[in-house]
Amino acid sequence: MPALHLVRERCLQLLQKQPGLDLKALDEALQTYGALVQKWNLLASLVSSRDTENLWLHIADSLSLFPVVRDLGGASPRLFDIGSGAGFPALPLALACPTLRFHMVERARKKAGFLELALGELGLLERGVVNPGAFPQEVSLQAPSGCLITARAVERPGTVWKSLRELVQQGAVFLCQWPELPSEATQMFHVEQITDDWTELGLRRGTLHILRAR
């Protein structure tokens, strides 16, 4: 990642290349979101104390998926975000993409409560849903064909992979940023590694792979 003072600037510069964005309004909305995370962090343990000063690192990483969401999701993209925590990447993506409809899955009760509050504060109640509970044990998602799935910060990727694999087999698309792909992924699915301006400028954490049915 670049120096912190450059992250927001570089992120906004890349977003300027995306057609139809009101960049000023988006920047204000993202700052409102960041303020909400900082305000409620002590109560809900949303991010580490260190990350409260580095929120734009998480925001930039979330927004690095925006071009992919636009390309793959079409005019009305659908997103299922598993392990949403403080709302990364779903909430920054929803603020950038006014046609995005999304579900956020979060097992921690206080974090799920924060996500519900954030939907209201950010004007996203009509497009976003919070599914409290652990995936897949307590939450069953009926992901439509072509929907996009993120699971950016799950603690044990192996425990959710089987259910994710089934969703991809049914036509969902997994935007994977795990440190390592499951060993069977390249055998079962079409896997594409994304390298773009967000990668080159160091605004995306880790490597992004797109997993789709063959």
Q: What's the pLDDT at 53?
A: 79
Q: What's the pLDDT at 51?
A: 82
Q: Within 13 A of 14's CA, how many CA atoms are on the CB side?
A: 22
Which amino acid, 154? V
Cis before 144 (ω within 30): no
CATH number of 4-213: 3.40.50.150
Tokens standing for residue 130: 């919070």
Q: What's the predicted TM-score (pTM) here? A: 0.95
Spatial distance between the Cα atoms of 9 and 208, rounded to a whole number of angstroms:
22
Q: Is 20 left (phi over 0), alpha (psi -120 to 50) or beta?
A: left
pLDDT category at 143 given cuts 50, 70, 90 is low
Spatial distance between the Cα atoms of 143 and 125, rounded to a whole number of angstroms:
20
The answer to whether the beta carbons of residues 209 and 181 sit under 8 Å apart is yes
Spatial distance between the Cα atoms of 98 and 95, rounded to a whole number of angstroms:
6
pLDDT for 178-208, tens place per residue?
999 999 999 999 999 999 999 999 999 899 9
